[in-house]
């Protein structure tokens, strides 16, 4: 499944999201065609290469001819519903703006229908949201993940006066989402950027287990002491799914333990999913073992050939089984025994397992001359703290 991971170490804004998606391959011409389907005018869009602290990135810009009046949610809704955008895109755009409006209404204590967008109701915000929706669609992204969001600190000047960072509406949009402050005196997370990720993303403490294919960088407007960029990684991830696997079994009563151990190693090198031996009693009361190998469909014949050639068995049994594979995420955690890897399992959004990597823990136990169970316990506790801090 194609996924995108938003790394928000310098915060997130609508133009940074648009820039990163353009950097990943969304053609500006495609975005301009999509924008032409919406009844707004008096603007120009552009994208160019820039550098932020030695990192190359794409800067997305929207310029308008004159100052604009604040729009209401109903005006934004009418504009989008009357547009030529695909229906799915309309729903996403409106859901994002509704999220912003609900936050504004709660913060300012007014009915939803009376909320007037200022910064986020302007043409550039509408374009940023449409760019995000269009870019994810164009790139074929099926699921979005994001890191905890850096918010910055200090104050920011808005249409409502000088407000603390993160701005109240931004903080409301980010309710329930992992965030963290930084020493940087700037508004790193904007309402538009926050609402886009709140709509799309599942937030994780680290990069999910994935095969990265391409990375894009979207530049912010300011020059900061850190690279003011949003990093977006696109790749494939193994996701929870139903699938069918092959179970190959055979009963063996005349093969040595050394050969069976070698056969196990050969099958794991081949790529079997799992393998185990079960003590059994065969005819004439002979002690024996049953070899069981769980194999993906494309390795079925190769596994059969290996089992027969290595063990000399006269036959194997084959059966098909459905299984569910849960999502997995690898975390690196700091402990008193060093940095260790921990595998996190998730089922239907819930964490179901926290499993430290054995090789890491064994090496740490040997280095520090402590029991292995102490290293396992430290790794699990560090992983729990990191997960809790991210939520």
pLDDT digits (tens, 9 = 90+) for 59-72: 999 988 766 667 78
Q: Which of 72-81, 118-127, 162-171, 379-388 has the lowest mean pLDDT?
A: 118-127
pTM of the predicted structure, to 2 decimals? 0.62
Q: Which of 93-97, 110-114, 217-221 has the lowest mean pLDDT?
A: 110-114
Q: Please indicate, yes or no, whether residues 307 and 369 belong to a single structural domain of this protein.
A: no
Q: Please indicate, yes or no, whether residues 314 and 333 belong to a single structural domain of this protein.
A: no
Maximum distance among all alpha carbons in the chain?
A: 95
pLDDT in tens, 314-334: 999 999 888 877 887 888 899
Q: Please indicate, yes or no, whether residues 369 and 225 belong to a single structural domain of this protein.
A: no
Q: Please indicate, yes or no, whether residues 307 and 349 belong to a single structural domain of this protein.
A: no
pLDDT of residue 148: 94
Average pLDDT over residues 242-254: 88
pLDDT over threshold 80, residue 120: no
Q: Please indicate, yes or no, whether residues 124 and 84 belong to a single structural domain of this protein.
A: yes
Q: How confident is the model at residue 242 (pLDDT cuts 50, 70, 90)?
A: low
Q: Which of 82-96, 137-151, 158-172, 327-341 has the lowest mean pLDDT?
A: 158-172
Q: Please indicate, yes or no, whether residues 273 and 214 belong to a single structural domain of this protein.
A: no
Q: Please indicate, yes or no, whether residues 262 and 358 belong to a single structural domain of this protein.
A: no
Q: Please indicate, yes or no, whether residues 302 and 203 belong to a single structural domain of this protein.
A: no
pLDDT over threshold 60, residue 365: yes
* 95: three-class secondary structure by DSSP: helix
Q: Please indicate, yes or no, whether residues 202 and 141 belong to a single structural domain of this protein.
A: yes
Contact assessment for residue 234 and residue 145, using Cβ atoms and an 8 Å cutoff: no
pLDDT of residue 322: 81
Average pLDDT over residues 259-287: 93
Domain that holds residue 107: 2-236
- Percent of the chain with pLDDT strictly greater than 90: 65
Q: Please indicate, yes or no, whether residues 157 and 141 belong to a single structural domain of this protein.
A: yes
pLDDT in tens, 196-212: 999 999 898 788 878 89
Q: Please indicate, yes or no, whether residues 278 and 364 belong to a single structural domain of this protein.
A: no
Residues 6 or more apart from 277 whose CB is under 8 A from it?
260, 264, 289, 290, 291, 292
Our count of domains for the chain comes to: 3
**Residue where one domain finishes, among candidates 218, 236, 254:** 236
Q: Please indicate, yes or no, whether residues 246 and 231 belong to a single structural domain of this protein.
A: no
CB crowding 161-200: b at 16 or more within 10 Å, else e: eebebbbbbbbbbbeebbbeebebebbbbbbbbbbbbbbb
């Amino acid at each position: 499944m194609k996924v995108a991971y938003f790394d928000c170490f310098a915060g997130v804004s609508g133009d940074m999201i648009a820039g990163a998606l353009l950097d990943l391959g969304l053609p500006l011409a495609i975005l301009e065609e999509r924008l032409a389907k919406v009844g707004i005018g008096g603007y120009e869009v552009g994208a160019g290469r820039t550098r932020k602290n030695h990192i190359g990135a794409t800067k997305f810009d929207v310029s308008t001819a004159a100052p604009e009046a604040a729009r209401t949610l109903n005006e934004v809704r009418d504009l989008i519903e009357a547009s030529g955008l695909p229906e799915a895109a309309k729903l996403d755009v409106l859901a994002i703006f509704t999220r912003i409006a609900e936050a504004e209404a709660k913060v300012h204590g007014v009915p939803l229908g009376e909320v007037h967008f200022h910064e986020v109701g302007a043409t550039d915000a509408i374009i940023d949201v449409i760019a995000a929706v269009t870019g994810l669609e164009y790139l074929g992204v099926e699921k979005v993940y994001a890191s905890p969001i850096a918010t910055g600190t200090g104050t920011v000047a808005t249409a409502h006066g000088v407000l603390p960072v993160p701005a109240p509406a931004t903080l409301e949009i980010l309710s329930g989402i992992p965030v963290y402050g930084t020493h940087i005196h700037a508004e790193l997370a904007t309402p538009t950027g926050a609402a886009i990720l709140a709509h799309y993303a599942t937030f994780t403490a680290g990069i999910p287990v994935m095969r990265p294919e391409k990375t894009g960088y979207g530049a912010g407007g300011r020059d900061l002491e850190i690279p003011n960029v949003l990093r977006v990684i696109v790749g494939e991830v193994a996701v929870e799914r139903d699938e069918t696997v092959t179970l190959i079994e055979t009963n063996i009563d005349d093969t040595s333990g050394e050969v069976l151990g070698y056969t196990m190693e050969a099958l794991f090198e081949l790529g079997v999913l799992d393998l185990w031996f079960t003590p059994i009693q065969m005819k004439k009361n002979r002690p024996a073992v049953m070899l069981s190998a769980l194999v993906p469909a494309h390795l079925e014949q190769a596994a059969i050939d290996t089992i027969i050639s290595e063990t000399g068995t006269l036959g194997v049994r084959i059966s098909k089984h459905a299984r569910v594979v849960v999502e997995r995420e690898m975390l690196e955690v700091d402990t008193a025994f060093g940095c260790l890897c921990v595998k996190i399992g998730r089922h239907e959004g819930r964490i179901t397992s926290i499993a430290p990597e054995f090789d890491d823990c064994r090496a740490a136990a040997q280095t520090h001359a402590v029991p292995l169970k102490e290293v396992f316990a430290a790794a699990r506790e560090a992983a729990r703290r990191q997960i809790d801090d991210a939520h």
